Chains A and B, each alone.
Chain A
């Protein structure tokens, strides 16, 4: 980071409001209910209200426009009195790149809200925000989020963005999308009574249809998704609005559409991904990365494809494992998993790009999982239990009753079923808890970003005008200033230890204070490249041989892209 500052951690402790907080509740200047979902417009207004209430901590910036011209709102969260945000290690957090996975945006919004209201009130979070900065972008896919709320959706649609694509390859674009025939805001299912049908309607619970055995006769036919064959090609809803799967549109291991479906035309071909990519490349201080998806209760890390495994050297795996394991503990029913092994191959994914191409410790959380419905054990609830949950806890709100509809192609049909909120999005009464636990997980991750300090500095007079200055710089945190993959692949700039104010005639590293001889740095001994950076909870010791006189003042500085630079003044003097 370019700006250099002395460490100011702890200075803010004085700000903490006292007396002790009476209860575990931090009042905020903006009250946002986290038991409901927000449209894009509501999200935008919450963000503006937060930025207005906490002008010192939040800078709300539109980093670009979506395909349909909506702002990509980024909250830059920083405590300016400890330095500009670019000078500190920063964590990137985003959500909702898949538009149907809506609670990602609420989780990021919650994180902005909680972190800022806790500043100056809660000691831990105040210290965190005095040490690090945060870039939080709640909604990566504003156009399709708007579509999800304003138009028809399912738990799985719309996932992609709204770029027009000829999905059915008939030379026409977006000509046969879903049709919300019963006007409930969701695309449900269509059933037709049919003496030769292969389905039977449950006598006790008429919401339920079951397939009959091969030798049995049913009385209903399943017509598929609610909709009309708008283009008369014999298929229904086969070419709806959108798009690209923007989580396949990043430049790390990107593959074209015929290999990775939804990839887009080339990496960053979408304005949304490009805006974030540009921000990332412009901010090498980002040292931690989180993106939110749903569902399944997973804390995912790369590789996205088996052949990318060399991008996860052992030293990085240790970092991932430690954060992932804490995640499993504080996120009940969540598992710490590896994308290509435990899920499927992803080429051109966002978090894998951050991990494998940018060398940043990076996680994707799949929010919400069936285990959380009853919180008894790790088994998925049965379909009967699911109905109990929908009826007794959600009071039927995830379901649209079957109603008759006169369909232009099929005549009299029944339309209804589970709506778009029914499966993947956290039930609203449980949303706040899910937001909070994931927020806490990212704060733990953030708190692992490197912080440097001068552990020990020793000045010795070696005779005549020759002095030695020996400096130990320590990173007390889990994440190294240069991750294993960054070092291995040559990503970003090296760390540097710089001594100014006297002529450095030789210098070199020591592996411990017991070492008598240095391992010499042959060139530029006063501006030493540390390609390996400062490791996880470890130190580097460097000895400079300088020409100078008693009383000379020197400056020693540690420069790093992913840590706050530290600098201190040294005076050449003999110990008495």
Chain B
């Protein structure tokens, strides 16, 4: 991007001292992962270097296809150095613009794909072969789009589940079976069944259809084990470990912004929702909601975004930064489709956008067994209904070995079940398929079923979205965002059509819009920097209470807007609190603990007082030490004077 390079030239020499780069690890393919540190050179008046001042972290390039994030992270860095050095005096900004360099490199050098996973070799289909069946560019247009197959033959292994939309024939939709409509097409990612196993593109390098590892699924928070793209285990990827290992040496980072495919600024995450342990929030801790919303408001005022894709918490970086690392974690896609941004003519109320996040946030699925028990279902039925298919067979054969009395008692209990449950039990017992349980609104089934529901939900939203994307492509991008369907002779399926959205089109703005995005993000980051917490510890004061007895007092104040630690940070307790300690022998302290711990000090002038009564002689100097790996250590002294 020409503008970017120009800015680097302008800031060039002068920026050197204000910015430095460090390699924090290497990708699986050996590419460096770099962090850029921005901040005033040398030490500040508290004697702190850049790495000892409260800091904001910006991370981008977690997913390969999200080019705008990488550019924005770099662009914001340049603009901060250019025009906001005042903010870099008291705070530091760390920028990792490309956490996943392999995916970025992979996408730029080869056939374009929608996915941006790592190149980790995988056996996604468990057939003993690695990366053997990726997507294929059938129409040789340099990109992987979709493939639709009319009336797939019996031998194809494909099922027709779609019809061509009569209003917009470029789009596919699910048939209206209630009107007697019959599916005509199978829809899948462009490619062949390279390994002849009947499945298409199920195990390709970089996750073109399956396989690879999505770094945004590989972090430990809410990790979805054994799912496609999540990796061999949580933190299995060198990129994941590189950033975590580095973060663990940077206690001074208090807030973060992730540029990626998700948002939690327009959509405020829900509160009161936790993982299965009941302790790790899937959204926000209650105590963090007001400040998170306040930051969200600043963001939407700057960007005018009304809607943005919600945050997917399973193993994501943002989730980790908030619910494990314990810092403020914000996420934005940087750019959204123009109709999702408020225009001047838009008269909708301000609140609309914020409300979008309310429904359907990720939630720990309720336990099916508990729901059944709530309905008064006896335990043996609960066990039966929640068992796997094989286990049910076991339970049924166990039933036959019960005494006649026990059998009769159980039949009686069964006849008293609510009708839907009784029907379900009978259907299964007679060898039919489980009709599944009727869940209360918003609830999901066990882990596997829950996953499916979620994906289906996303899909139905997708239909509506796709039309809007197509309209945007036609009206504002000269139809460049969609490859029209063309017939291709498929080596295995015969005549098929290939077409669909251009990879990356739906996450990246046209080049001419990028500059505006950088301006917006710089404004937001600047605003956020100004709100970061700080810690001012007053010089100690001494008051003579009597012969050899003194009251010593200091005050710790946070002039920032955000508290010194989020509610989540205080809960996670990853970092030791601010400790203010009086350097006296325990015997000399009459009142007050020698070490005072402050887990959090509210923002906007919030403060904490520390007082001790000590025995000491006039003329002695009392030393107060403040220890904080976030805000830096410092020492204050007061000489005890008889007159005071």
Contact = CB atoms under 8 A, between A and B. Distances in A.
Given A259-B280, A310-B447, A314-B388, A265 B196 contact: no
28 contacts: A166-B576, A170-B595, A171-B576, A171-B627, A229-B586, A232-B594, A251-B233, A251-B235, A256-B280, A258-B571, A259-B277, A259-B279, A259-B280, A266-B220, A266-B244, A267-B234, A268-B235, A307-B367, A347-B277, A492-B126, A493-B128, A496-B127, A496-B128, A522-B155, A523-B157, A524-B195, A529-B126, A529-B127
Interface string A391-433: 0000000000000000000000000000000000000000000
B339 interface: no
Interface string A559-576: 100000000000000000
B234 to A, nearest CB: 5
A257 interface: yes
A305 B278 CA distance: 12
> What is the interface of chain B mostly: helix, strand, loop, or mixed?
loop
B434 interface: no
A536 to B, nearest CB: 12
Given A267-B234, A313-B388, A171 B128 contact: no
Contact of B594 (A234, A281, A489): A234
A357 B367 CA distance: 21
Given A233-B595, A265-B248, A313-B390, A169 B577 contact: yes
Contact of B197 (A171, A252, A266, A523): A523
Contact of A314 (B226, B233, B391, B446): B391
Contact of B244 (A232, A257, A265, A492): A265
B128 A491 contact: no
Given A170-B576, A172-B627, A531-B126, 16 more contacts: A170-B627, A171-B628, A232-B594, A255-B277, A257-B574, A266-B220, A266-B234, A267-B220, A305-B277, A307-B367, A313-B391, A314-B390, A484-B390, A490-B226, A493-B128, A494-B126
Interface string A484-506: 10001111111010000000000
Interface in A461-504: 484, 488-494, 496
B338 interface: no
Nearest to B280: A259
Nearest to B386: A310
A258 B193 CA distance: 47
B280 A255 contact: yes
Q: Which of B233, B279, B324 has the most CB of A within 10 A?
A: B233
A265 B250 CA distance: 13
B188 interface: no
A315 interface: yes
Nearest to A254: B220
A314 B394 contact: yes
Interface in B377-418: 387-388, 390-391, 394
B235 A305 contact: no
A138 B220 CA distance: 29
A524 B594 contact: no
Interface string B211-225: 000000000100101
B422 interface: no
A357 B277 contact: no
Interface string B277-319: 1011000000000000000000000000000000000000000
B579 interface: yes
The 6 closest A-B pairs by CB, nearest first: A171-B627, A523-B198, A314-B391, A251-B233, A307-B276, A169-B576
A63 to B, nearest CB: 17
Interface in A243-258: 251-252, 254-258
Interface string B16-52: 0000000000000000000000000000000000000
A89 B573 CA distance: 43
A493 to B, nearest CB: 4
Interface string B233-253: 111100001001000100000
A258 B568 CA distance: 10
> What is the interface of chain A mostly: helix, strand, loop, or mixed?
loop
A307 B447 CA distance: 10
Nearest to B633: A171
A171 B579 contact: yes
Contacts of B244: 265-266
B127 A493 contact: yes
Contacts of A255: 277, 279-280
Interface string A273-314: 000010001000000000000000000000001010010011
A453 B393 CA distance: 28
B197 A524 contact: yes
Contact of B324 (A232, A234, A256): A256
Interface in A172-187: 172
A494 B446 contact: no
B490 to A, nearest CB: 16
A267 B277 contact: no
A529 B248 CA distance: 44
A281 B576 contact: no
B581 interface: yes
Contacts of A257: 572-574
B390 A523 contact: no
B321 to A, nearest CB: 12
B123 interface: yes
B593 interface: yes
A152 to B, nearest CB: 23
A169 B126 contact: no
B629 interface: yes
A244 to B, nearest CB: 13
B507 interface: no
Interface in B588-635: 593-595, 597, 627-629
A494 B123 CA distance: 10
A357 B388 CA distance: 18
A166 B628 CA distance: 13
Contacts of A170: 576, 579, 581, 595, 597, 627
B483 interface: no
B279 A258 contact: yes
Contacts of A491: 226
Nearest to A529: B127
Nearest to A353: B233
B124 to A, nearest CB: 9
B126 A490 contact: yes
Nearest to B219: A266
A170 B574 CA distance: 13
Nearest to A318: B394
Contacts of A496: 127-128
A258 B388 CA distance: 33
B347 to A, nearest CB: 46
Nearest to B195: A524
B585 interface: yes
A281 B123 CA distance: 14
Nearest to B276: A307
B527 interface: no
A490 B228 CA distance: 10
A492 B226 CA distance: 10
B232 interface: yes
Interface in B526-573: 571-573
A494 B128 contact: yes
Contacts of A277: 233
B600 to A, nearest CB: 13
Contacts of B367: 307
A256 B387 contact: no
Contacts of B280: 255-256, 259
Nearest to B570: A258
Nearest to B241: A266
A76 to B, nearest CB: 22
A347 B276 CA distance: 11
A234 B277 CA distance: 35
A233 B596 CA distance: 10
A252 B225 CA distance: 8
Contacts of A484: 388, 390
Nearest to B391: A314
A392 to B, nearest CB: 45
Contacts of A254: 220, 223, 234
